Amino acid sequence: MIVVAAVVERAGRFLVTRRQHGVHLEGYWEFPGGKVDPGEDHQTALRRELREELDVDCEPGELMLTTAHDYDDRRITLCFYRCTLGGTPRALLGQEVRWATRDDLGQLRFPPADDELIRLVRRSPGEGGRA
Ligand code: DGT
């Protein structure tokens, strides 16, 4: 299963959402996105997921990282894309949404599959570099 996720940075903060009750990895924070449907390309999947979850246009950019993770019952390949949004996200499914600083990313609970991406992001300079 292939999952695409959007890494959206604004003013040094990253858009993250919280997985809801009753789903795999409930209560964990994540980068918005979801499964790629059969026959769909990654960019189309990202646009669709961000529209469905957050009612916002998404412009996918650079592929930052591809990583695989085995869960008990499934193996996922996660592809993280830098994205820009055309508007303000609005939680359509009642999920918590937060703009997290680099430090927050180190504190919030993310799935282990996200570890490498979070390290990468926390090491990266912010827009315009660090002061
Ligand atoms: P659906 O349509 O309700 O079956 O679900 P989707 O397409 O929204 O996808 P979902 O959320 O069930 O699957 C994403 C899988 O990837 C899930 O097992 C959790 C895992 N995952 C790990 N890290 C991340 C992340 O940072 N973002 C996202 N979106 N998923 C992540």
In angstroms, the CA 4 to CA 62 distance is: 12
First-to-last alpha carbon distance for the chain, in angstroms, is: 40
Question: pTM, whole model, 2 decimals?
Answer: 0.93
Q: Which of 1, 2, 3 to mutate to test the pocket of ligand 1 (most atoms within 8 A of CB)?
A: 3
Counting from 1 in the atom list of ligand 1, the atom nearest the Cα of 4 is 29
Tell me how far the alpha carbon of residue 128 lies from the centroid of ligand 1, in angstroms: 31
Q: How confident is the model at residue 125 (pLDDT cuts 50, 70, 90)?
A: confident
Reported as a single tens digit per residue, the pLDDT across 29-47 is: 999 999 999 999 999 999 9
pLDDT tens-digit map of 53-74: 999 999 999 999 999 999 888 8
What pLDDT is stored for residue 72 in this prediction? 86
State whether CATH 3.60.15.10 applies to domain 2-123.
Answer: no
> Counting beta carbons within 10 angstroms of the beta carbon of residue 126, is it exposed (0 to 12), middle (13 to 18) or buried (19 or more)?
middle
H-helix or E-strand spanning residue 13? strand 13-18
Q: Give the pLDDT of residue 129.
A: 56
The DSSP secondary-structure symbol of 26 reads T
User: What 3-state class would DSSP assign to 48?
Assistant: helix
Whether the per-residue pLDDT at 127 is higher than 70: the answer is no
